[in-house]
Amino acid sequence: MPSLAGTPAEAAPVPPKRERRKEARPGELLAAALELFVEKGFAATRSEEVAARAGVSKGTLFLYFPTKDELFKAVVRENVSGRFRELNQEFRQFEGSSADMLRTGLRLWWERVGATQASGISKLIMSEARNFPELADFCQHEVIQPCQELICWILQRGIDRGEFRPVDLRYAAANTIGAMVFLMMMKHSLAPCLPHDQRLDPQRFIAAHVDTLLQGLCVRPHGVNDAPAS
Amino acid sequence: MPSLAGTPAEAAPVPPKRERRKEARPGELLAAALELFVEKGFAATRSEEVAARAGVSKGTLFLYFPTKDELFKAVVRENVSGRFRELNQEFRQFEGSSADMLRTGLRLWWERVGATQASGISKLIMSEARNFPELADFCQHEVIQPCQELICWILQRGIDRGEFRPVDLRYAAANTIGAMVFLMMMKHSLAPCLPHDQRLDPQRFIAAHVDTLLQGLCVRPHGVNDAPAS
Amino acid sequence: MPSLAGTPAEAAPVPPKRERRKEARPGELLAAALELFVEKGFAATRSEEVAARAGVSKGTLFLYFPTKDELFKAVVRENVSGRFRELNQEFRQFEGSSADMLRTGLRLWWERVGATQASGISKLIMSEARNFPELADFCQHEVIQPCQELICWILQRGIDRGEFRPVDLRYAAANTIGAMVFLMMMKHSLAPCLPHDQRLDPQRFIAAHVDTLLQGLCVRPHGVNDAPAS
Amino acid sequence: MPSLAGTPAEAAPVPPKRERRKEARPGELLAAALELFVEKGFAATRSEEVAARAGVSKGTLFLYFPTKDELFKAVVRENVSGRFRELNQEFRQFEGSSADMLRTGLRLWWERVGATQASGISKLIMSEARNFPELADFCQHEVIQPCQELICWILQRGIDRGEFRPVDLRYAAANTIGAMVFLMMMKHSLAPCLPHDQRLDPQRFIAAHVDTLLQGLCVRPHGVNDAPAS
DNA sequence: AATGAATGAGGATTCATTCAT
DNA sequence: CATGAATGAATCCTCATTCAT
């Protein structure tokens, strides 16, 4: 069956069936945008890519977010707000040693935030804060401060209960927050470019961080040895 | 000694003319580019802005760097290479307790790197690594590893001399590196957007970090108290 | 009887249902379109706006008019066709002096056309004729010529009856048509942008025009004084 | 000389030699824009077309005018401002009968404005005034009012010298302005779409207008007969 | 070497039109 | 019939890069 046509593969350019999913779209677009913004940066991501990754066309994106800037802000808002308030609640109810609290807290936090896509938000904020000043403020109030307060609260609890020796709360908290932020940023920056054996293992990094921390913090240093080997 | 791919560094340019400007141009452009890339990100910085900040015209920029990408790579190379090798050398000659070594090292490092514009490079790398994969590799070899090795060397020295208790060297080093990276990133990201009283003070942050670290590390915990008050 | 090219007017649609709305739709859409096209121009008006002003959804508009272009042509057709043939009839039956005929005619015309929304059509035609060449032809036959003929007929009548002195009929008519067109355009262009006291009063403008005209036209110049004060 | 290549016409895509003509560009762009805006309307004209007609590339247009809107405003400003002040001066110095003044004035005006591309500006203003409200104001002050004043001044002069009978100055002036505006609009709207024999001849139109006007205006009606037969 | 006018590919956004509901 | 979510061609505008001066 000879044919003069070129590549016969071109059967029929399937029109990629339109789906009407008004409810689901914003979430899908935000997820796609988060991924891409984290991966390539805000400016280097094309609107069309976001749409494509969300499985819709260029035009649809602008149906839900009036501008790329607004999309960006929505991405940050979506992935930041609230997320920490619940963790906060949970912790205030925790019963047990403050050392366990710290250990469990960080482990939990990694599972719920660090290990998810949402962790990319920290890279995003660090990269874009100066281009979106309102964001810096928003994040300071919605993320940094709640976290800071939670950690300070735990440390204070430990001190009050005689478990921890007194320290400069703010900077002790900053130390831990810094470690977590670093971890998240690595995950979305250098790590994907490095061979597996050169990457940090988050769990071990956190464990090491907490161990060092508690070693220096705890009044009864042997308490550290109770820690479940990670 | 790995090098960022692209145009290989030309042989040392002959310096025939007296005109200072001509010699200084590349450096001025690199400095301007560093500032702007750190401030606004690579993609969001216009080539013309870089030229303007360096006090030359658009065309001149492209006389020295064939493309914006090459300019970027040059910025990274310029601010990264070598800078750590010398610190390394200095340290190997240090005499005194390993605790002092750590403390002094970080202080020195902050003065020589963290407090300078060059610290912005960390924000740049974190933000752009995935867009310039060769970069990640370059930095891993030129920065991360030397730092890692240096810190590991110090820790090992402490352990060998019975000053520190044995720890997982790699993750202990990562913890400190993470703290420093976090500090640099904050300086160029959130800090400029926050009121002064909400910013972290680098010196105190470093001091707190080292204190906590040494508290947990030192065999003779009271050794910490020998630390010169920051 | 020329007709604007495009979809030929369908045979009268069967009116089976009682639902007023369905029957009225096209008219409402045409009215909305006329308003908006006149206000903002054809290209600057969005289809959705037209639909919205007619109180229906975007999709419905395209149920009645296959394209924006067709909508435009329909708007012109609707507001132009016929409208002048009846005026014409009426006038041929007029009895009285030709001066009165002219005066009354222009007054009537203003009431029936100039003062209504339909007057906007002249702005539309002037603005869009070159983008819709078929339109110019249509209007030439449906509007300009009938008007021209009517005025010429009146003038000729006056001349024949010895009331008017002989003049170049075509250009005399054009003068009056021009005045009316100018009036309509002002109403829809500059007037809405000017404070009320700087706008022309249509009645006075027409009166002044007719007065000047008749003053120069009438054989018995005092005849002008018979004119009913407007 | 057989060849497997396709159409041999494709010799070398001549790179359309870049010319550096900073001084001339704005004027050329404004001229091109005027033509196109008049021809197709503001919204229906693509920026790129303007650039092409001016013989430059898309980008160059935006080198001289930051946005399409600004280009539009510049076109109006360029073609409106000043143009009437000089005519005004000339006229105040005129010596002779007021009837001649009117006749000569309109003839001159047609030569200097009506017959040039600038006449298109009236179509533009009429079409776009409501989209650019500031323009309406600008034109009212820069064009309408000066013209109105000039004509009023001439009429008043005629009345003062006993040549004209007293009339409502404002509306008499408006009548003449209207006629000229109509003429300009026709030239750029319907006329280009009509066969030559159906178009109005500007000179005759003006002559007819002035004749009718003066016939009604002049105290000595035979004065009209002095008018050179057009 | 330096300049900055000119270019045009690329990206954000709009909007006429389609079509699933 | 009516709706409005979805589409993508079309358009405005930007900016890295080129090149005449």
CB distance C148 to C173 below 8 Å: yes
The string of pLDDT tens digits covering residues B94-114 is 888 999 999 999 999 999 899
pLDDT recorded at residue A220: 64
Q: Which residue is nearest to nucleotide E10 (CA to C1')?
A: A46
Residues of A in contact with B179 (CB under 8 A): 175, 178-179, 182
Q: Which of B16, B197, B214 is nearest to B102 (CA)?
A: B214
Q: Is the pLDDT of residue A226 over 50?
A: no
Residue D176, both tokens:
């003449």
**pLDDT grade for B81, boundaries at 50, 70 and 90:** confident
User: Rounded to an integer, what distance in angstroms lies between the CA atom of residue D7 and that of residue A220?
Assistant: 90
Contacts (Cβ under 8 Å, ≥6 apart) of D13: none
pLDDT recorded at residue D222: 44
The string of pLDDT tens digits covering residues D79-134 is 987 777 777 788 888 889 999 999 999 999 999 899 999 999 999 999 999 999 99
Query: What does the domain layout of chain B look like in residue ranges?
Result: 20-78, 81-226
The string of pLDDT tens digits covering residues A101-138 is 999 999 999 998 999 999 999 999 999 999 999 988 89
Residues of B in contact with A193 (CB under 8 A): 129-130, 133, 135-137, 140
pLDDT recorded at residue D226: 45
Chain E bases under 7 Å from protein CB?
1-21
Q: Which residue is nearest to nucleotide F11 (CA to C1')?
A: D46
Q: How near does any CA of chain A get to the CA of B99, in Å?
A: 14
pLDDT recorded at residue C226: 45
Q: Is the pLDDT of residue B12 over 50?
A: no
**pLDDT grade for B20, boundaries at 50, 70 and 90:** low
User: Rounded to an integer, what distance in angstroms lies between the CA atom of residue D34 and that of residue D119?
Assistant: 10
pLDDT recorded at residue A228: 47
The number of beta carbons lying within 10 Å of the beta carbon of residue B32 is: 22
pLDDT recorded at residue D123: 95
DSSP H or E run through A95: none
Which chains pack against D, by 3+ Cβ pairs within 8 A? Answer: C
| Measured torsion, CA atoms of residues C51, C56, C57, C58, in degrees rounded to the nearest 10 | -30
Q: Is the pLDDT of residue C2 over 70?
A: no
Residue C56, both tokens:
């229906």
The conformation of residue B218, written as its DSSP 8-state character, comes to B
User: Is the Cβ pair D212, C214 closer than 8 Å?
Assistant: no
User: Rounded to an integer, what distance in angstroms lies between the CA atom of residue C46 and that of residue A75?
Assistant: 30
Q: Is the pLDDT of residue D44 over 90?
A: yes
Q: Is the pLDDT of residue C3 over 70?
A: no
- The answer to which of C8-22, C190-204, D148-162 has the lowest mean pLDDT is C8-22
**pLDDT grade for B139, boundaries at 50, 70 and 90:** confident
Q: Greater confidence, D227 or D16?
A: D16
- The answer to which of A1-15, A186-200, C80-94, C132-146 has the lowest mean pLDDT is A1-15
Q: Residue range B180-193: average pLDDT?
A: 95
Contacts (Cβ under 8 Å, ≥6 apart) of C61: C29, C47, C50, C51, C54, C71
- The superfamily (CATH) of domain A81-223 is Tetracycline Repressor, domain 2 (1.10.357.10)
The string of pLDDT tens digits covering residues D167-225 is 999 999 999 999 999 999 999 999 999 899 889 999 999 999 999 999 888 876 544 44
Between CA D52 and C1' F14 the distance (Å) reads 19
User: Rounded to an integer, what distance in angstroms lies between the CA atom of residue B54 and that of residue B21?
Assistant: 11
Q: Residue range C126-136: average pLDDT?
A: 92
Residue B69 CB lies within 7 Å of the nucleic strand F: yes
User: Rounded to an integer, what distance in angstroms lies between the CA atom of residue C229 and that of residue C204?
Assistant: 10
Beta bridge partners of C164: C218
> What single letter denotes the amino acid at residue D183?
L
Q: Residue range D6-15: average pLDDT?
A: 53
pLDDT recorded at residue D11: 52
pLDDT recorded at residue A224: 46
The string of pLDDT tens digits covering residues C99-114 is 999 999 999 999 989 9
pLDDT recorded at residue B222: 44
Q: Is the pLDDT of residue A196 over 80?
A: yes
Find the nucleotide nearest A22 (Cα to C1′).
F5
Q: Residue range D31-52: average pLDDT?
A: 98
Residues of C in contact with D216 (CB under 8 A): 211-217
Residue B62 CB lies within 7 Å of the nucleic strand F: yes
CATH architecture of B20-78: Orthogonal Bundle (1.10)
Q: Confirm or reject CATH 1.10.443.10 for domain A25-78, answering yes or no.
A: no
Q: Give chain C's radius of gyration (CA, Å).
A: 20
Q: Which of A67, A71, A69 is nearest to A33 (CA)?
A: A71
CATH architecture of B81-226: Orthogonal Bundle (1.10)
* Cβ-based contacts (< 7 Å) between A 15-44 and strand F: 15-16, 18-22, 25
B–A contact: 3+ Cβ pairs < 8 A:
yes
Residue A35, both tokens:
């991924």
Cα–Cα distances in angstroms (integers) from residue A131 to residues A52, B51, D66, in the given order: 25, 20, 23
Tally the residues of chain D. Answer: 230
> What single letter denotes the amino acid at residue C33?
A
Residues of D in contact with C40 (CB under 8 A): 130-131
- The answer to which of B125-129, C70-74, C139-143, D48-52 has the lowest mean pLDDT is C139-143
User: Is the Cβ pair B168, A192 closer than 8 Å?
Assistant: no
Which residue of chain C comes nearest to D221, CA vs CA? Answer: C216
User: Is the Cβ pair B171, A204 closer than 8 Å?
Assistant: yes
User: Rounded to an integer, what distance in angstroms lies between the CA atom of residue B31 and that of residue B53?
Assistant: 9
The string of pLDDT tens digits covering residues B41-72 is 999 999 999 999 999 999 999 999 999 999 99
Chain F bases under 7 Å from protein CB?
1-21
Averaged pLDDT of chain B: 86
**pLDDT grade for A12, boundaries at 50, 70 and 90:** low
The string of pLDDT tens digits covering residues C49-69 is 999 999 999 999 999 999 999
Between CA D126 and C1' F9 the distance (Å) reads 31
